[in-house]
Chains A and B, each alone.
Chain A
Protein backbone atom coordinates (compact mmCIF):
# COMPACT_ATOMS: atom_id res chain seq x y z
CA UNK A 1 0.00 0.00 0.00
CA UNK A 2 2.94 2.33 0.41
CA UNK A 3 2.89 3.28 -3.27
CA UNK A 4 -0.63 4.64 -2.72
CA UNK A 5 0.66 6.70 0.17
CA UNK A 6 3.46 8.04 -2.02
CA UNK A 7 1.03 8.80 -4.80
CA UNK A 8 -1.85 10.38 -2.88
CA UNK A 9 -0.81 11.54 0.59
CA UNK A 10 2.91 12.17 0.73
CA UNK A 11 3.06 15.28 -1.48
CA UNK A 12 0.70 17.12 0.87
CA UNK A 13 2.53 16.10 4.04
CA UNK A 14 6.02 16.48 2.69
CA UNK A 15 5.69 19.90 1.10
CA UNK A 16 4.18 22.76 3.06
CA UNK A 17 3.08 24.60 -0.07
CA UNK A 18 1.08 21.56 -1.23
CA UNK A 19 -0.68 21.30 2.12
CA UNK A 20 -1.54 25.00 2.03
CA UNK A 21 -2.75 24.70 -1.54
CA UNK A 22 -5.04 21.83 -0.51
CA UNK A 23 -6.40 23.70 2.51
CA UNK A 24 -7.02 26.86 0.49
CA UNK A 25 -8.76 25.12 -2.38
CA UNK A 26 -10.87 22.96 -0.01
CA UNK A 27 -12.09 26.11 1.73
CA UNK A 28 -12.83 27.76 -1.60
CA UNK A 29 -14.60 24.68 -3.00
CA UNK A 30 -16.97 24.38 -0.03
CA UNK A 31 -18.16 27.98 -0.39
CA UNK A 32 -18.08 28.22 -4.18
CA UNK A 33 -20.00 25.00 -4.85
CA UNK A 34 -23.21 25.99 -3.01
CA UNK A 35 -23.10 29.47 -4.56
CA UNK A 36 -22.74 27.85 -7.97
CA UNK A 37 -25.76 25.62 -7.34
CA UNK A 38 -27.92 28.69 -6.78
CA UNK A 39 -26.50 30.38 -9.87
CA UNK A 40 -27.46 27.30 -11.92
CA UNK A 41 -30.93 27.14 -10.34
CA UNK A 42 -31.55 30.82 -11.05
CA UNK A 43 -30.32 30.39 -14.62
CA UNK A 44 -27.55 32.86 -13.90
CA UNK A 45 -24.61 30.61 -14.76
CA UNK A 46 -23.01 33.38 -16.77
CA UNK A 47 -23.30 35.71 -13.83
CA UNK A 48 -20.42 33.99 -12.01
CA UNK A 49 -18.25 34.60 -15.06
CA UNK A 50 -19.35 38.19 -15.29
CA UNK A 51 -18.66 38.89 -11.64
CA UNK A 52 -15.26 37.20 -11.73
CA UNK A 53 -14.21 39.49 -14.53
CA UNK A 54 -15.80 42.47 -12.89
CA UNK A 55 -13.41 42.25 -9.93
CA UNK A 56 -10.41 42.42 -12.27
CA UNK A 57 -10.24 46.24 -12.76
CA UNK A 58 -10.43 46.76 -8.99
CA UNK A 59 -7.72 44.19 -8.36
CA UNK A 60 -5.65 45.93 -11.03
CA UNK A 61 -6.09 49.36 -9.47
CA UNK A 62 -5.07 47.89 -6.11
CA UNK A 63 -2.05 46.36 -7.79
CA UNK A 64 -1.14 49.66 -9.51
CA UNK A 65 -1.26 51.66 -6.30
CA UNK A 66 0.22 49.17 -3.84
CA UNK A 67 1.90 46.40 -5.83
CA UNK A 68 1.12 42.78 -4.99
CA UNK A 69 -0.59 43.77 -1.74
CA UNK A 70 -3.31 41.43 -0.58
CA UNK A 71 -5.49 44.00 1.15
CA UNK A 72 -5.31 46.61 -1.64
CA UNK A 73 -6.22 44.08 -4.32
CA UNK A 74 -8.98 42.56 -2.18
CA UNK A 75 -10.62 45.90 -1.43
CA UNK A 76 -10.31 47.00 -5.07
CA UNK A 77 -11.89 43.75 -6.26
CA UNK A 78 -14.76 44.00 -3.78
CA UNK A 79 -15.54 47.57 -4.82
CA UNK A 80 -15.61 47.02 -8.58
CA UNK A 81 -17.38 43.67 -8.21
CA UNK A 82 -20.23 45.22 -6.24
CA UNK A 83 -20.38 48.31 -8.47
CA UNK A 84 -20.67 46.17 -11.61
CA UNK A 85 -23.32 43.97 -9.98
CA UNK A 86 -25.40 47.03 -9.12
CA UNK A 87 -24.87 48.78 -12.48
CA UNK A 88 -25.67 45.69 -14.55
CA UNK A 89 -28.77 45.06 -12.45
CA UNK A 90 -29.84 48.68 -12.93
CA UNK A 91 -29.33 48.53 -16.72
CA UNK A 92 -31.43 45.36 -16.82
CA UNK A 93 -34.20 47.03 -14.81
CA UNK A 94 -34.21 50.40 -16.58
CA UNK A 95 -33.78 49.27 -20.20
CA UNK A 96 -35.30 46.43 -22.21
CA UNK A 97 -31.88 44.70 -22.25
CA UNK A 98 -32.10 41.36 -20.44
CA UNK A 99 -29.98 40.73 -17.38
CA UNK A 100 -27.66 38.18 -18.99
CA UNK A 101 -26.87 40.46 -21.92
CA UNK A 102 -26.31 43.40 -19.63
CA UNK A 103 -23.91 41.36 -17.47
CA UNK A 104 -22.06 40.11 -20.55
CA UNK A 105 -21.50 43.70 -21.71
CA UNK A 106 -20.17 44.77 -18.33
CA UNK A 107 -17.85 41.82 -17.95
CA UNK A 108 -16.25 42.26 -21.36
CA UNK A 109 -15.57 45.91 -20.58
CA UNK A 110 -14.19 44.94 -17.14
CA UNK A 111 -11.90 42.31 -18.61
CA UNK A 112 -10.46 44.76 -21.14
CA UNK A 113 -10.03 47.47 -18.54
CA UNK A 114 -8.47 45.10 -16.01
CA UNK A 115 -5.89 43.65 -18.39
CA UNK A 116 -5.01 47.14 -19.61
CA UNK A 117 -4.53 48.42 -16.05
CA UNK A 118 -2.35 45.50 -14.95
CA UNK A 119 -0.18 45.87 -18.05
CA UNK A 120 0.37 49.59 -17.31
CA UNK A 121 2.80 48.75 -14.56
CA UNK A 122 3.19 45.05 -14.12
CA UNK A 123 5.04 42.47 -16.13
CA UNK A 124 3.41 39.58 -17.95
CA UNK A 125 4.14 37.48 -14.87
CA UNK A 126 2.00 39.78 -12.74
CA UNK A 127 -0.82 39.54 -15.24
CA UNK A 128 -0.62 35.75 -15.20
CA UNK A 129 -0.56 35.81 -11.42
CA UNK A 130 -3.79 37.82 -11.31
CA UNK A 131 -5.54 35.87 -14.06
CA UNK A 132 -4.54 32.36 -13.00
CA UNK A 133 -3.80 32.69 -9.29
CA UNK A 134 -1.03 31.34 -7.12
CA UNK A 135 -2.46 28.27 -5.51
CA UNK A 136 1.01 26.84 -4.92
CA UNK A 137 2.25 30.05 -3.30
CA UNK A 138 -0.46 30.84 -0.74
CA UNK A 139 0.91 32.82 2.21
CA UNK A 140 -0.69 32.93 5.66
CA UNK A 141 -2.70 36.07 4.93
CA UNK A 142 -4.21 34.67 1.73
CA UNK A 143 -5.03 31.37 3.38
CA UNK A 144 -6.68 33.16 6.27
CA UNK A 145 -8.68 35.35 3.88
CA UNK A 146 -9.95 32.36 1.90
CA UNK A 147 -10.92 30.28 4.92
CA UNK A 148 -12.56 33.19 6.76
CA UNK A 149 -14.51 34.26 3.66
CA UNK A 150 -15.68 30.73 2.99
CA UNK A 151 -16.83 30.23 6.58
CA UNK A 152 -18.77 33.50 6.52
CA UNK A 153 -20.28 32.62 3.13
CA UNK A 154 -21.48 29.21 4.33
CA UNK A 155 -22.96 30.65 7.52
CA UNK A 156 -24.80 33.46 5.75
CA UNK A 157 -26.04 31.06 3.06
CA UNK A 158 -27.56 28.95 5.85
CA UNK A 159 -29.25 32.04 7.29
CA UNK A 160 -30.79 33.19 3.99
CA UNK A 161 -31.42 29.71 2.57
CA UNK A 162 -35.19 29.72 2.94
CA UNK A 163 -35.90 33.15 1.40
CA UNK A 164 -33.37 32.39 -1.34
CA UNK A 165 -35.19 29.16 -2.30
CA UNK A 166 -38.60 30.85 -2.20
CA UNK A 167 -37.31 33.80 -4.25
CA UNK A 168 -35.92 31.42 -6.88
CA UNK A 169 -39.07 29.34 -7.12
CA UNK A 170 -41.75 32.03 -7.03
CA UNK A 171 -40.37 35.59 -7.12
CA UNK A 172 -43.78 37.20 -6.64
CA UNK A 173 -44.55 35.26 -3.45
CA UNK A 174 -42.28 37.09 -1.01
CA UNK A 175 -43.05 40.47 -2.56
CA UNK A 176 -46.75 39.86 -1.95
CA UNK A 177 -45.95 38.74 1.62
CA UNK A 178 -43.90 41.93 2.12
CA UNK A 179 -40.98 39.58 2.78
CA UNK A 180 -37.34 40.39 2.18
CA UNK A 181 -36.95 38.46 -1.06
CA UNK A 182 -34.88 41.02 -2.93
CA UNK A 183 -32.78 41.58 0.18
CA UNK A 184 -31.76 37.92 0.16
CA UNK A 185 -30.83 38.33 -3.51
CA UNK A 186 -28.60 41.30 -2.68
CA UNK A 187 -26.93 39.40 0.16
CA UNK A 188 -26.36 36.52 -2.22
CA UNK A 189 -24.64 38.84 -4.72
CA UNK A 190 -22.38 40.20 -1.98
CA UNK A 191 -21.42 36.64 -0.95
CA UNK A 192 -20.72 35.84 -4.60
CA UNK A 193 -18.37 38.80 -5.00
CA UNK A 194 -16.70 38.05 -1.63
CA UNK A 195 -16.01 34.45 -2.57
CA UNK A 196 -14.73 35.38 -6.01
CA UNK A 197 -12.39 38.01 -4.57
CA UNK A 198 -11.05 35.56 -1.99
CA UNK A 199 -10.87 32.85 -4.63
CA UNK A 200 -8.81 34.87 -7.10
CA UNK A 201 -5.89 34.51 -4.71
CA UNK A 202 -6.13 30.78 -5.14
CA UNK A 203 -7.18 30.13 -8.71
CA UNK A 204 -7.02 33.56 -10.37
CA UNK A 205 -9.89 35.66 -11.70
CA UNK A 206 -10.23 33.55 -14.85
CA UNK A 207 -10.18 30.13 -13.19
CA UNK A 208 -12.07 30.76 -9.94
CA UNK A 209 -15.44 30.56 -11.74
CA UNK A 210 -14.56 26.99 -12.73
CA UNK A 211 -14.54 25.72 -9.14
CA UNK A 212 -17.91 27.45 -8.70
CA UNK A 213 -19.81 26.35 -11.80
CA UNK A 214 -18.37 22.97 -12.81
CA UNK A 215 -19.08 21.15 -9.51
CA UNK A 216 -22.52 22.77 -9.36
CA UNK A 217 -23.51 21.69 -12.87
CA UNK A 218 -22.11 18.20 -12.21
CA UNK A 219 -24.00 17.88 -8.90
CA UNK A 220 -27.29 18.54 -10.71
CA UNK A 221 -26.97 15.10 -12.36
CA UNK A 222 -26.61 13.23 -9.04
CA UNK A 223 -29.06 14.85 -6.63
CA UNK A 224 -32.61 16.19 -6.81
CA UNK A 225 -32.99 18.60 -3.94
CA UNK A 226 -31.16 21.91 -3.83
CA UNK A 227 -29.67 21.12 -0.42
CA UNK A 228 -28.11 17.85 -1.54
CA UNK A 229 -26.81 19.47 -4.71
CA UNK A 230 -25.06 22.08 -2.59
CA UNK A 231 -23.31 19.54 -0.37
CA UNK A 232 -22.37 17.47 -3.39
CA UNK A 233 -21.00 20.49 -5.24
CA UNK A 234 -18.71 21.21 -2.30
CA UNK A 235 -17.52 17.60 -2.24
CA UNK A 236 -16.94 17.48 -6.00
CA UNK A 237 -15.00 20.75 -5.86
CA UNK A 238 -12.82 19.40 -3.05
CA UNK A 239 -12.16 16.14 -4.88
CA UNK A 240 -11.26 18.09 -8.01
CA UNK A 241 -8.85 20.23 -5.99
CA UNK A 242 -7.24 17.14 -4.44
CA UNK A 243 -6.72 15.31 -7.71
CA UNK A 244 -5.87 18.47 -9.63
CA UNK A 245 -3.08 19.30 -7.20
CA UNK A 246 -1.75 15.72 -7.39
CA UNK A 247 -1.77 15.82 -11.18
CA UNK A 248 -0.01 19.16 -11.07
CA UNK A 249 2.61 17.72 -8.69
CA UNK A 250 3.29 14.42 -10.42
CA UNK A 251 3.01 15.61 -14.02
CA UNK A 252 4.61 18.98 -13.36
CA UNK A 253 1.82 21.05 -14.92
CA UNK A 254 0.30 24.36 -13.65
CA UNK A 255 -2.02 23.77 -10.69
CA UNK A 256 -5.12 25.89 -11.31
CA UNK A 257 -5.84 24.57 -14.82
CA UNK A 258 -5.26 21.04 -13.49
CA UNK A 259 -7.87 21.62 -10.76
CA UNK A 260 -10.37 23.09 -13.21
CA UNK A 261 -9.80 20.27 -15.69
CA UNK A 262 -10.34 17.70 -12.93
CA UNK A 263 -13.66 19.38 -12.16
CA UNK A 264 -14.36 19.33 -15.90
CA UNK A 265 -13.71 15.58 -15.97
CA UNK A 266 -16.25 15.08 -13.16
CA UNK A 267 -18.71 17.22 -15.13
CA UNK A 268 -18.38 15.11 -18.29
CA UNK A 269 -18.66 11.89 -16.27
CA UNK A 270 -21.82 13.25 -14.67
CA UNK A 271 -23.34 14.23 -18.02
CA UNK A 272 -22.74 10.67 -19.22
CA UNK A 273 -23.55 8.61 -16.12
CA UNK A 274 -25.63 10.79 -13.77
CA UNK A 275 -28.90 9.18 -12.63
CA UNK A 276 -30.89 12.42 -13.05
CA UNK A 277 -30.93 13.26 -16.75
CA UNK A 278 -27.56 11.74 -17.66
CA UNK A 279 -27.14 10.44 -21.22
CA UNK A 280 -26.88 6.77 -20.22
CA UNK A 281 -30.04 6.97 -18.16
CA UNK A 282 -31.85 8.81 -20.96
CA UNK A 283 -30.88 6.06 -23.42
CA UNK A 284 -32.05 3.37 -21.00
CA UNK A 285 -35.39 5.13 -20.55
CA UNK A 286 -35.82 5.46 -24.30
CA UNK A 287 -35.21 1.72 -24.68
CA UNK A 288 -37.73 0.90 -21.92
CA UNK A 289 -40.26 3.22 -23.58
CA UNK A 290 -39.86 1.48 -26.93
CA UNK A 291 -40.30 -1.92 -25.29
CA UNK A 292 -43.48 -0.74 -23.51
CA UNK A 293 -44.82 0.64 -26.75
CA UNK A 294 -44.08 -2.64 -28.55
CA UNK A 295 -45.96 -4.53 -25.82
CA UNK A 296 -48.98 -2.25 -26.01
CA UNK A 297 -49.20 -2.12 -29.78
CA UNK A 298 -48.38 -5.83 -30.03
Chain B
Protein backbone atom coordinates (compact mmCIF):
# COMPACT_ATOMS: atom_id res chain seq x y z
CA UNK B 1 0.00 0.00 0.00
CA UNK B 2 1.48 3.36 -1.01
CA UNK B 3 0.65 6.84 0.32
CA UNK B 4 -2.17 7.13 2.85
CA UNK B 5 -5.21 9.29 2.11
CA UNK B 6 -6.31 9.24 5.75
CA UNK B 7 -4.15 8.30 8.71
CA UNK B 8 -5.50 7.59 12.19
CA UNK B 9 -3.10 7.83 15.11
CA UNK B 10 -4.52 6.41 18.36
CA UNK B 11 -7.84 8.12 17.73
CA UNK B 12 -10.60 8.14 20.37
CA UNK B 13 -13.97 9.72 19.64
CA UNK B 14 -17.14 10.16 21.68
CA UNK B 15 -20.40 11.95 22.38
CA UNK B 16 -21.21 13.54 25.74
CA UNK B 17 -20.22 10.99 28.42
CA UNK B 18 -19.80 8.07 26.00
CA UNK B 19 -16.57 7.06 24.34
CA UNK B 20 -17.71 5.40 21.12
CA UNK B 21 -14.35 4.79 19.45
CA UNK B 22 -11.24 3.82 21.43
CA UNK B 23 -7.67 4.05 20.32
CA UNK B 24 -7.91 3.30 16.59
CA UNK B 25 -4.68 3.48 14.59
CA UNK B 26 -4.15 2.74 10.93
CA UNK B 27 -4.41 4.20 7.45
CA UNK B 28 -6.77 4.23 4.51
CA UNK B 29 -4.45 3.99 1.52
CA UNK B 30 -5.00 6.30 -1.41
CA UNK B 31 -7.31 4.77 -4.01
CA UNK B 32 -8.43 1.90 -1.78
CA UNK B 33 -12.01 0.67 -1.44
CA UNK B 34 -12.67 -0.07 2.23
CA UNK B 35 -15.78 -1.31 4.04
CA UNK B 36 -16.29 -0.48 7.72
CA UNK B 37 -18.36 -3.21 9.36
CA UNK B 38 -19.33 -4.10 12.91
CA UNK B 39 -22.32 -4.57 15.22
CA UNK B 40 -24.73 -1.72 16.02
CA UNK B 41 -23.11 0.78 18.36
CA UNK B 42 -19.62 -0.25 17.29
CA UNK B 43 -18.68 3.35 16.54
CA UNK B 44 -18.67 3.08 12.74
CA UNK B 45 -20.66 6.27 12.07
CA UNK B 46 -18.78 8.07 14.84
CA UNK B 47 -15.48 7.21 13.18
CA UNK B 48 -16.79 8.58 9.86
CA UNK B 49 -17.89 11.79 11.60
CA UNK B 50 -14.40 12.11 13.01
CA UNK B 51 -12.84 11.72 9.57
CA UNK B 52 -15.28 14.26 8.12
CA UNK B 53 -14.19 16.70 10.80
CA UNK B 54 -17.70 17.08 12.21
CA UNK B 55 -16.48 15.58 15.48
CA UNK B 56 -13.13 16.41 17.05
CA UNK B 57 -11.09 13.51 18.46
CA UNK B 58 -11.00 13.24 22.26
CA UNK B 59 -7.47 11.91 21.89
CA UNK B 60 -5.12 11.11 19.05
CA UNK B 61 -4.90 12.63 15.61
CA UNK B 62 -6.57 12.25 12.22
CA UNK B 63 -4.27 13.26 9.38
CA UNK B 64 -5.69 13.91 5.92
CA UNK B 65 -3.80 14.23 2.68
CA UNK B 66 -4.89 17.43 0.97
CA UNK B 67 -7.34 20.10 1.97
CA UNK B 68 -10.26 18.25 3.61
CA UNK B 69 -13.01 20.65 2.53
CA UNK B 70 -11.91 20.33 -1.06
CA UNK B 71 -11.14 16.68 -1.23
CA UNK B 72 -13.87 14.92 0.68
CA UNK B 73 -17.50 14.17 -0.06
CA UNK B 74 -19.87 12.47 2.34
CA UNK B 75 -23.10 10.56 1.97
CA UNK B 76 -25.08 11.13 5.17
CA UNK B 77 -27.41 8.55 6.69
CA UNK B 78 -30.76 9.38 5.11
CA UNK B 79 -32.23 10.22 8.54
CA UNK B 80 -29.95 13.23 8.80
CA UNK B 81 -31.69 14.91 5.87
CA UNK B 82 -34.82 17.01 6.40
CA UNK B 83 -36.98 15.41 3.72
CA UNK B 84 -39.90 17.76 4.34
CA UNK B 85 -37.85 20.71 3.06
CA UNK B 86 -39.39 21.98 -0.20
CA UNK B 87 -36.52 21.62 -2.65
CA UNK B 88 -36.43 20.00 -6.08
CA UNK B 89 -34.28 16.97 -6.87
CA UNK B 90 -32.31 19.11 -9.30
CA UNK B 91 -31.46 21.62 -6.57
CA UNK B 92 -30.50 18.85 -4.12
CA UNK B 93 -28.02 17.47 -6.65
CA UNK B 94 -26.84 21.01 -7.45
CA UNK B 95 -25.68 21.34 -3.82
CA UNK B 96 -22.78 19.13 -4.88
CA UNK B 97 -21.28 22.08 -6.74
CA UNK B 98 -20.82 23.96 -3.45
CA UNK B 99 -17.04 24.13 -3.44
CA UNK B 100 -17.00 25.52 -6.99
CA UNK B 101 -20.00 27.81 -6.68
CA UNK B 102 -20.19 28.61 -2.96
CA UNK B 103 -22.79 30.89 -1.47
CA UNK B 104 -22.76 33.63 -4.07
CA UNK B 105 -21.33 32.65 -7.44
CA UNK B 106 -23.73 32.16 -10.32
CA UNK B 107 -24.84 28.67 -11.27
CA UNK B 108 -23.78 28.64 -14.91
CA UNK B 109 -24.60 26.49 -17.90
CA UNK B 110 -21.59 24.22 -17.30
CA UNK B 111 -22.77 23.38 -13.78
CA UNK B 112 -26.31 22.80 -15.01
CA UNK B 113 -24.95 20.40 -17.59
CA UNK B 114 -23.06 18.54 -14.82
CA UNK B 115 -26.27 18.23 -12.78
CA UNK B 116 -28.18 16.82 -15.76
CA UNK B 117 -25.36 14.37 -16.46
CA UNK B 118 -25.30 13.23 -12.84
CA UNK B 119 -29.10 12.84 -12.78
CA UNK B 120 -28.86 10.85 -15.98
CA UNK B 121 -26.12 8.60 -14.57
CA UNK B 122 -28.24 7.63 -11.55
CA UNK B 123 -31.40 7.29 -13.69
CA UNK B 124 -33.28 10.26 -12.24
CA UNK B 125 -33.36 12.56 -15.28
CA UNK B 126 -37.17 12.41 -15.34
CA UNK B 127 -37.37 13.33 -11.66
CA UNK B 128 -35.40 16.59 -11.76
CA UNK B 129 -38.39 18.79 -10.99
CA UNK B 130 -39.83 16.49 -8.31
CA UNK B 131 -39.84 17.78 -4.72
CA UNK B 132 -37.44 15.71 -2.62
CA UNK B 133 -40.17 14.76 -0.16
CA UNK B 134 -42.06 12.85 -2.88
CA UNK B 135 -39.11 10.61 -3.80
CA UNK B 136 -38.97 7.01 -2.58
CA UNK B 137 -36.12 5.92 -0.32
CA UNK B 138 -34.22 4.42 -3.23
CA UNK B 139 -34.74 7.45 -5.45
CA UNK B 140 -33.52 9.76 -2.69
CA UNK B 141 -30.40 7.64 -2.32
CA UNK B 142 -29.84 7.86 -6.09
CA UNK B 143 -30.17 11.64 -5.86
CA UNK B 144 -27.62 11.78 -3.04
CA UNK B 145 -25.23 9.68 -5.16
CA UNK B 146 -25.75 12.17 -7.98
CA UNK B 147 -24.75 14.89 -5.53
CA UNK B 148 -21.56 12.92 -4.75
CA UNK B 149 -20.89 12.73 -8.50
CA UNK B 150 -21.11 16.50 -8.69
CA UNK B 151 -18.78 16.96 -5.72
CA UNK B 152 -16.09 15.13 -7.68
CA UNK B 153 -13.99 14.55 -4.53
CA UNK B 154 -10.91 12.38 -4.15
CA UNK B 155 -12.15 10.80 -0.94
CA UNK B 156 -15.73 9.56 -0.54
CA UNK B 157 -17.27 8.61 2.81
CA UNK B 158 -20.59 6.77 2.72
CA UNK B 159 -22.62 6.00 5.83
CA UNK B 160 -24.83 2.96 5.19
CA UNK B 161 -25.37 3.76 1.51
CA UNK B 162 -27.57 0.71 0.91
CA UNK B 163 -29.76 0.76 4.01
CA UNK B 164 -33.45 0.50 3.06
CA UNK B 165 -32.71 0.37 -0.66
CA UNK B 166 -33.99 -2.34 -3.02
CA UNK B 167 -31.76 -4.75 -4.90
CA UNK B 168 -31.82 -3.03 -8.32
CA UNK B 169 -30.88 0.32 -6.75
CA UNK B 170 -28.14 -1.33 -4.67
CA UNK B 171 -26.64 -2.87 -7.80
CA UNK B 172 -26.75 0.44 -9.72
CA UNK B 173 -25.19 2.37 -6.85
CA UNK B 174 -22.59 -0.33 -6.18
CA UNK B 175 -21.57 0.00 -9.84
CA UNK B 176 -20.97 3.70 -9.19
CA UNK B 177 -18.83 2.85 -6.14
CA UNK B 178 -16.73 0.51 -8.26
CA UNK B 179 -16.39 3.18 -10.94
CA UNK B 180 -15.09 5.65 -8.34
CA UNK B 181 -12.65 3.00 -7.14
CA UNK B 182 -11.43 2.39 -10.69
CA UNK B 183 -10.96 6.14 -11.17
CA UNK B 184 -8.47 6.00 -8.30
CA UNK B 185 -10.60 7.67 -5.63
CA UNK B 186 -10.46 6.59 -2.01
CA UNK B 187 -13.83 5.13 -1.02
CA UNK B 188 -14.89 4.25 2.54
CA UNK B 189 -18.37 2.85 3.20
CA UNK B 190 -20.10 1.73 6.39
CA UNK B 191 -21.98 -1.46 5.54
CA UNK B 192 -23.96 -4.28 7.15
CA UNK B 193 -24.16 -6.84 4.35
CA UNK B 194 -21.08 -9.03 4.94
CA UNK B 195 -21.66 -11.07 1.79
CA UNK B 196 -21.53 -7.92 -0.29
CA UNK B 197 -18.37 -6.81 1.52
CA UNK B 198 -16.69 -10.17 0.81
CA UNK B 199 -17.65 -9.94 -2.84
CA UNK B 200 -17.03 -6.26 -3.61
CA UNK B 201 -14.65 -4.68 -1.10
CA UNK B 202 -10.91 -5.49 -1.18
CA UNK B 203 -10.29 -4.05 2.29
CA UNK B 204 -12.27 -4.07 5.53
CA UNK B 205 -12.10 -2.41 8.94
CA UNK B 206 -13.99 -4.40 11.57
CA UNK B 207 -15.10 -2.18 14.45
CA UNK B 208 -16.42 -2.94 17.92
CA UNK B 209 -15.75 0.23 19.89
CA UNK B 210 -12.13 -0.35 18.88
CA UNK B 211 -10.57 -1.67 15.69
CA UNK B 212 -10.89 -5.46 15.93
CA UNK B 213 -9.12 -6.06 12.63
CA UNK B 214 -8.09 -3.97 9.65
CA UNK B 215 -6.69 -5.27 6.39
CA UNK B 216 -7.63 -7.34 3.38
CA UNK B 217 -11.24 -8.48 3.62
CA UNK B 218 -10.46 -12.20 3.60
CA UNK B 219 -8.14 -11.83 6.59
CA UNK B 220 -10.46 -9.56 8.54
CA UNK B 221 -13.82 -11.30 8.17
CA UNK B 222 -12.86 -14.56 9.85
CA UNK B 223 -15.31 -16.32 12.19
CA UNK B 224 -12.96 -15.64 15.14
CA UNK B 225 -12.81 -11.89 14.47
CA UNK B 226 -16.58 -11.62 13.98
CA UNK B 227 -17.17 -13.54 17.20
CA UNK B 228 -14.74 -11.27 19.03
CA UNK B 229 -16.50 -8.16 17.66
CA UNK B 230 -19.92 -9.36 18.85
CA UNK B 231 -18.44 -10.23 22.23
CA UNK B 232 -16.77 -6.82 22.62
CA UNK B 233 -19.96 -4.95 21.77
CA UNK B 234 -22.10 -7.04 24.10
CA UNK B 235 -19.60 -6.25 26.84
CA UNK B 236 -20.07 -2.56 26.23
CA UNK B 237 -23.21 -2.41 28.39
CA UNK B 238 -21.18 -2.02 31.57
Q: Do A and B come from one complex?
A: yes
Considering the chains assembled together, what is the distance between the CA atoms of A226 and B95 in angstroms?
A: 15
Mask: chain A, 148-182; 1 = CB below 8 Å from B; 0 = not: 00000000000110110110111111111111100
B104 touches A159 (CB 8 A): yes
B90 CB, nearest partner CB in chain A, Å: 11
Using A166-B95, A170-B95, A224-B131 as known contacts, say yes or no to A176 and B85 having CB atoms under 8 A apart.
no
B85 touches A168 (CB 8 A): yes
Contacts of B99 in A (CB 8 A): 177
From A163, A169, A173, B87 is in contact (CB under 8 Å) with: A169
Chain B positions 51-104 with a Cβ under 8 Å from a chain A Cβ? 52-54, 68-69, 72-74, 76, 80-82, 85-88, 92, 95, 98-99, 102-104
Considering the chains assembled together, what is the distance between the CA atoms of A180 and B74 in angstroms?
A: 17
From A172, A177, A226, B80 is in contact (CB under 8 Å) with: A172
Q: Chain A interface residue count: which class?
A: 20 to 34
B53 touches A179 (CB 8 A): no
Identity of the chain A residue whose Cβ is nearest the Cβ of B68 in the assembled complex = A178
Contacts of A166 in B (CB 8 A): 95, 98
Considering the chains assembled together, what is the distance between the CA atoms of A224 and B74 in angstroms?
A: 28
Using A170-B82, A229-B86 as known contacts, say yes or no to A178 and B76 having CB atoms under 8 A apart.
no
Using A166-B98, A175-B54, A176-B54 as known contacts, say yes or no to A41 and B76 having CB atoms under 8 A apart.
no
From B69, B86, B87, A177 is in contact (CB under 8 Å) with: B69
Q: Which of B69, B80, B87 gathers most chain A CB within 10 Å?
A: B87
B129 CB, nearest partner CB in chain A, Å: 10
A170 touches B76 (CB 8 A): yes
Contacts of A173 in B (CB 8 A): 74, 76, 95, 98
Instruction: Give chain B's interface secondary structure class.
Output: mixed
A169 touches B54 (CB 8 A): no
Chain B positions 83-127 with a Cβ under 8 Å from a chain A Cβ? 85-88, 92, 95, 98-99, 102-104
Contacts of A163 in B (CB 8 A): 103
A225 touches B86 (CB 8 A): yes
B98 touches A177 (CB 8 A): yes
Contacts of B76 in A (CB 8 A): 170, 172-173
A170 touches B81 (CB 8 A): yes
Contacts of A225 in B (CB 8 A): 86-88
Considering the chains assembled together, what is the distance between the CA atoms of A169 and B53 in angstroms?
A: 19
Contacts of A229 in B (CB 8 A): 86
B85 CB, nearest partner CB in chain A, Å: 5
Using A159-B104, A162-B103 as known contacts, say yes or no to A176 and B74 having CB atoms under 8 A apart.
yes
From B74, B87, B98, A179 is in contact (CB under 8 Å) with: B98
Using A170-B95, A172-B76, A179-B98 as known contacts, say yes or no to A226 and B87 having CB atoms under 8 A apart.
yes
From B52, B82, B102, B103, A169 is in contact (CB under 8 Å) with: B82
A172 touches B103 (CB 8 A): no
Mask: chain B, 33-62; 1 = CB below 8 Å from A; 0 = not: 000000000000000000011100000000
A168 CB, nearest partner CB in chain B, Å: 6
Measuring CB to CB, which residues of chain B are less than 8 angstroms from any residue of chain A? Answer: 52-54, 68-69, 72-74, 76, 80-82, 85-88, 92, 95, 98-99, 102-104, 131-132
Measuring CB to CB, which residues of chain A are less than 8 angstroms from any residue of chain B? Answer: 41, 159-160, 162-163, 165-166, 168-180, 184, 224-226, 229
